[in-house]
Amino acid sequence: MNTGDTGFMLICAALVLFMTPGLAFFYGGLVRRKNVLNTMMSSLCIIGLAAVMWIAFGYSLSFNGEGMFIGNLKQAFLNGMGMGTGTYADSIPAYVFVAFQMMFAIITPALITGSVAGRMKFKALFLFIILWSIVVYYPLAHMVWGHGGFLGEVLGSVDFAGGNVVHISSGVSGLVLAIMLGKRRGYEHQSYRIHNIPFVILGASILYFGWLGFNAGSALGANGLAAHAFLTTTTSCGAAMLSWMVVDMIIIGKPTAVGAATGLVLGLVAITPGAGFVPIWSSFLIGAIVSPICYFTMSVVKRKFGYDDALDAFGCHGVGGIWGGIATGIFAKSSINDVARWDGLAFGDWHLFAAQLLSIVITIIIAIIGTLICGLIVKLITPLRVTEQEERIGLDKAQHGEEAYPTFNGLD
């Protein structure tokens, strides 16, 4: 056991936890002001819900056992686990690995909430997150990162910090759930204006800060691979932000603050699966290419098909994660991280590229089927969507009895 690695990983776990409040500000700033508290609460409540589920049975299902598709319940409530090292890292306590991975289980379902902002009942969302974590997240985490997992150890695909497990799964699930819910009232006729751009910038900045722990921490130690992931992350982030600003200049003639913040997040999403596998020079390309791809998805594809992905969780995390997984299959080098069995397509080997494509397709299928199952079960218990009257007055008041910006009379 190494105290330096342990301290580093505890800090990284705290950084990843900080991402969820950051996401709350990012999403909260993007919605109408009558829905800001509900939108932020939808992220923040998952900190409690997912943490309890993770300790009770989520970790065990995700990382205990050697099944191809799911773990077992032998370490439910961390039964039999002490303060020594575990099977996934020999220089940090098993508890630290549990804590670090818990933060991934918290933020992943929170990403989904951006797709359904402004129209989903809070009770229904709460129940959906419980079911989705069990049906989609825990199996995917095991299949990608667990011992004997089908996508990782059997198929040979790689996912350094959550391209499949976090971004593709949540983005695709968000799109499916948004379609199940239907469009917001007046979606095709009203302008849904961003109510607080400083919130968006604050949220994106917190996400960037936390993401450095997200990616660098996935090296599971304070080592050269962590430093490599740190640099690929910052490089991709910068390239994507600049790329989005260029697209803004071409399309509307001005660089926008919301666009720059969106590009920043896209660069983080795209590099996540390959941060510890691809050369640093390739992160320039990964970041620069993701912004125009996602810009096209959000502005053209979304309008063409008419779906109401409220805050573009699919356009950002789903599409950005898919590009990141593909790019990993193109640029990865086994000399950087020998978890990759083969070099990427750019270096003359097609095996990893094929494994990446297949893993992405499987992840999409799991997310679609799992979301439909969870949504239909919740629908049997409670309506998924708020009433038209509740949507009109806003979900802050309708679902929580609060207002973010009340009218003050005197000193009340």
* Residue 376 forms part of a structural domain: yes
Number of domains observed in the structure of the chain: 1
Closest C-alpha to 270, from 213, 227, 211: 211
What would the mean pLDDT of 116-141 be, rounded to a whole number? 97
Percent of the chain whose predicted confidence (pLDDT) is above 70: 98
* Residue 412 forms part of a structural domain: no
CATH number for the domain harbouring residue 335: 1.10.3430.10
* Residue 47 forms part of a structural domain: yes
* Residue 227 forms part of a structural domain: yes
- Contact at 8 Å (CB) between 171 and 110? no
* Residue 405 forms part of a structural domain: no
Backbone Cα Rg of the chain: 20
What are the CA-CA distances from residue 120 to residues 21, 129, 357, 399 (Å)?
20, 12, 33, 10
* Residue 124 forms part of a structural domain: yes
**Mind listing the pLDDT tens digit for each residue in 59-109?**
999 999 999 999 999 999 999 998 989 899 999 999 999 999 999 999 999
**Residue 318 belongs to what domain range?**
3-399
Q: Which pLDDT band holds residue 410 (cuts at 50, 70, 90)?
A: very low
CA–CA distance, 172 with 177 (Å, rounded to integer): 9
What would the mean pLDDT of 164-180 be, rounded to a whole number? 98
What would the mean pLDDT of 338-366 be, rounded to a whole number? 97
CA–CA distance, 118 with 63 (Å, rounded to integer): 35
> What's the mean pLDDT when you consider all of the chain?
95
* Residue 44 forms part of a structural domain: yes
CA–CA distance, 322 with 360 (Å, rounded to integer): 7
**Mind listing the pLDDT tens digit for each residue in 195-222?**
999 999 999 999 999 999 999 999 999 9
| Amino acid in the structure at residue 185 | R
From the CB of residue 343, how many other CB atoms can be counted at a distance below 10 Å?
A: 20
From the CB of residue 212, how many other CB atoms can be counted at a distance below 10 Å?
A: 19
Would you state the pLDDT for residue 406? 79
pTM of the full structure: 0.96
Percent of the chain whose predicted confidence (pLDDT) is above 90: 93
Would you state the pLDDT for residue 408? 54
Would you state the pLDDT for residue 213? 97
Instruction: Output the CA torsion sign for 308, 312, 313, 318.
Output: positive
* Residue 409 forms part of a structural domain: no
pLDDT at position 411 over 50: no
Would you state the pLDDT for residue 97? 97
